[in-house]
Amino acid sequence: MSTERSSAGDPARTLRLLWREPGADTRRGPRQGLSVERVVAAALDLADADGLGAVTMRQVAGALGVVPMSLYTYVPGKAELLDLMLDTVYGQMSREDLSGKPWRERLTAVAQANRELFDRHPWVAEVATGRPPLGPGLMAKYEHELRAFEGLGLDDVAMDAALTFLLGFVSAAARSAAEAVAVRRDSAMSEEQWWAANAPLLGRVFDQDGYPTAARVGSAAGAAHGAAYSPDHAYRFGLERVLDGLGVLIDGQPEGSGATTS
């Protein structure tokens, strides 16, 4: 999977567009009737259908029925457009009320909301967000997710680090799931079909006596998942281990710090 990165455009122009600051290039064209919102919506449709590679200024213009140069009235280029796309889908995420729930349920809900984001918009997993788009969608997402860690006795730096750790796992799981989908698509074979085609050859060349542990464990995992790798199982197993690890941090807070372990 190719990787693009957010915040790669002109920061001043991007921030003005993200926050729709007065004076930003959001005016309507005299004939096209376009807007930043329409441009972003067209780009999202292309990315959701065909991946980020399909999102070029020319392709977006074609989807809107205008000439490519007309888009630059609204968005300076693809880098800024990508930030607008990300911030838009962040703003559309569900914001479940997490108040009063045990901390593991709160963190599980945060993880699940992000997993659903990747399911709806697989291209998001291709974007490196070490410098995130600092728009209202991202800020609403960050505010909501941080509240899942309130009352656990963590200081502000630890809260941010714990959230980053949790979301890093979800992002990695999403990338692995997307890669599995790409492999099936490119090979035009399901996992079962691929193993059925290769099992006879493997049976002839693989020495089970030489690799007894691999033979035993691989057979058990393959039988359980119907494949060598199950994205759903990997996500469920990994999330529990992430929560277990955070539990060590949370449960280890000094008594009276306000941490809860429910």
HSE toward the beta carbon, residue 141, CA cutoff 13 A:
23
Tell me how crowded residue 36 is: count the other CB atoms within 10 A of its CB.
Answer: 22
Amino acid type, 246:
L
Split the chain (262 residues) into runs of 10 and give each run's mean pLDDT. 84 94 56 84 97 96 95 95 98 94 97 97 94 96 98 96 98 92 81 77 84 91 86 96 97 59 40
pLDDT at residue 254, as a whole number: 66
Select from 123, 31, 14, 29 the least CA-distant residue to 76: 14
pLDDT in tens, 59-80: 999 999 999 999 999 999 999 9
Q: 71: which DSSP letter?
A: G
Select from 85, 83, 95, 173 the least CA-distant residue to 141: 95
pLDDT at residue 24, as a whole number: 57
pLDDT at residue 30, as a whole number: 47
pLDDT at residue 25, as a whole number: 52
Q: Which helix (H) or strand (E) element contains residue 13?
A: helix 11-18
Q: How far apart are CA 56 and CA 241, in angstroms?
A: 40
**Which residue has tokens 């006596």?**
209
Q: How far apart are CA 116 and CA 141, in angstroms?
A: 14
Q: Is the pTM higher than 0.85?
A: yes
In the chain, the domains with their CATH numbers are 4-91 (1.10.10.60), 103-251 (1.10.357.10)
pLDDT at residue 85, as a whole number: 98
Cβ atoms of 137 and 17 within 8 Å: the answer is no
Which residues, at least 6 apart from 104, have a Cβ–Cβ distance to it below 8 Å?
A: 243, 247
Summary count for the chain: helices (H), strands (E): 10, 2
pLDDT at residue 259, as a whole number: 42
Amino acid type, 89:
V
Amino acid type, 214:
A
pLDDT in tens, 83-111: 999 999 999 999 999 999 999 999 999 99
Q: How far apart are CA 183 and CA 108, in angstroms?
A: 28
Select from 169, 46, 37 the least CA-distant residue to 111: 169
Strand, helix or coil for residue 202: helix
Q: Which two tokens stand for residue 126?
A: 């291709």
